[in-house]
């Protein structure tokens, strides 16, 4: 059962170091999707509500705070999912979007097809993009890693619907785990209704001890490839080559390794 905690926030537009963005908006903190690998579980250090995935903090005055106009790109959300299950009932995200200045440059990322509910509001924004996380997890893998999030086909359908309604879309392919995520297949399935991609390799450090334990026990070959620096860098270079040859726009390849960092593939793809 998801425990909810209502608070009143002082501000909703928070400065961020996310590349290309100036602010993040998190009307929720915590997430009912309960993804085992979620990097945002670090929030549990400051929120004493329990294990990640068991709680959500609700900023009930977020719609009021969202009326303030800010310049620069705004990302929604970074430590939650704006369309996690509780949103269907509360409609907090919808109210935030309704109250936002429609001149705001907004980027929304979610794992939920519930996002299509707000297409009419998205159309009111002068500059907006909406992304869906894609990884193709199915069966036991999805039950282990993303037990409560909508499935792969629902996310593809949401992207297609958004695109057909004139909304700029992107595919956030993450987390890319060797032997478990098929990049070529994900791109082939979605390229007709995705404007660009961001690809993120699995961040084993940020994923937490429980995820590492499960990955090691269930998928030992994948675990070893991620754990070894030499093997990981070889894998990252293989991914890079696949993306360069994909004939789609890939804005970034995020590796999380200091020696590799964030690789901007746009210039390299222009040469193909």
Which burial class, exposed, middle or buried, applies to 7 when counting CB atoms under 10 A from its CB (0-12, 13-18, 19+)?
Answer: exposed
Task: List b or e across 12-46, with b for residues whose CB sees 16 or more CB atoms inside 10 angstroms.
Answer: bbeebeeeebbbbbbbbbbbbbbbbbbbbbebbee
Residues 6+ apart with CB under 8 A from 228: none
Q: What is the pLDDT of residues 17-66, one digit of tens each?
A: 998 999 999 999 999 999 999 999 988 888 889 999 999 999 999 999 99
Tell me what pLDDT residue 272 has.
39
Tell me what pLDDT residue 271 has.
41
Residues of the chain short of pLDDT 50, as ranges, are 267, 269-272
Residues 6+ apart with CB under 8 A from 130: 107, 108, 109, 110, 115, 122, 162, 167, 168, 169, 170
Domain with residue 61: its CATH number is 3.80.30
Query: What is the rounded CA–CA span in Å between residue 175 and residue 112?
Result: 16
Tell me what pLDDT residue 52 has.
93
Helix axis angle for 152-164 and 183-190, nearest 10°, is: 40
Query: What is the rounded CA–CA span in Å between residue 197 and residue 84?
Result: 22
Threshold 0.85, pTM exceeds: yes
Distance of CA 230 to the CA centre of its chain: 27
> How many C-beta neighbours within 10 Å does residue 203 have?
16
Tell me what pLDDT residue 1 has.
78
What is the DSSP secondary structure assignment for residue 19, as one 8-state letter?
T
Tell me what pLDDT residue 264 has.
60
- Check if the beta carbon of residue 193 is closer than 8 Å to that of residue 169: yes
Query: What is the rounded CA–CA span in Å between residue 27 and residue 9?
Result: 9
Tell me what pLDDT residue 258 has.
57
Domain span holding position 7: 3-270
Query: What is the rounded CA–CA span in Å between residue 251 and residue 260?
Result: 15
- Check if the beta carbon of residue 2 is closer than 8 Å to that of residue 58: no
**Bridge partner residues of 65 (DSSP):** none
- Total domains in the fold of the chain: 1
User: How is 176-204 classified by DSSP, letter by letter?
Assistant: E-TTT--HHHHHHHHGGG-SEEEEEE--T
Query: What is the rounded CA–CA span in Å between residue 77 and residue 107?
Result: 9
Q: Which of 114, 108, 48 minimizes the C-alpha distance to 78?
A: 108
């Amino acid at each position: 059962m998801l425990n909810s905690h209502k608070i009143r926030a002082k501000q909703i537009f928070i400065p961020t170091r996310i590349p290309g963005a100036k602010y993040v908006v998190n009307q929720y903190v915590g997430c009912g999707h309960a993804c085992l690998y979620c990097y945002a579980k670090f929030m549990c250090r400051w929120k004493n509500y329990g294990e990640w995935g068991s709680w959500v903090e609700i900023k009930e005055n977020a719609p009021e705070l969202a009326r303030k106009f800010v310049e620069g790109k705004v990302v929604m959300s970074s430590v939650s999912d704006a369309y996690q299950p509780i949103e269907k009932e509360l409609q907090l995200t919808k109210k935030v979007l309704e109250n936002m200045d429609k001149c705001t440059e907004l980027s929304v990322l979610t794992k939920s097809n519930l996002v299509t509910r707000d297409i009419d509001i998205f159309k009111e924004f002068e500059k907006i993009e909406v992304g869906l996380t894609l990884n193709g997890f199915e069966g036991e893998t999805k039950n282990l890693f993303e037990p409560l999030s909508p499935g792969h086909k629902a996310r593809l359908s949401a992207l297609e619907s958004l695109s057909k309604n004139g909304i700029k879309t992107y595919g956030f392919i993450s987390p890319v785990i060797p032997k478990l995520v098929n990049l070529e297949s994900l791109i082939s399935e979605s390229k007709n209704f995705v404007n660009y991609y961001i690809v993120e390799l699995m961040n084993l450090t940020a994923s937490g001890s429980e995820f590492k334990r499960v990955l090691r026990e269930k998928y030992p070959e994948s675990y070893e490839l991620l754990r070894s620096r030499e093997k990981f860098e070889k894998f990252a270079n293989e991914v890079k080559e696949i993306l360069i040859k994909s004939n789609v726009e890939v804005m970034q390849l995020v590796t999380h390794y200091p020696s590799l960092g964030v690789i901007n593939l746009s210039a390299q793809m222009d040469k193909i």
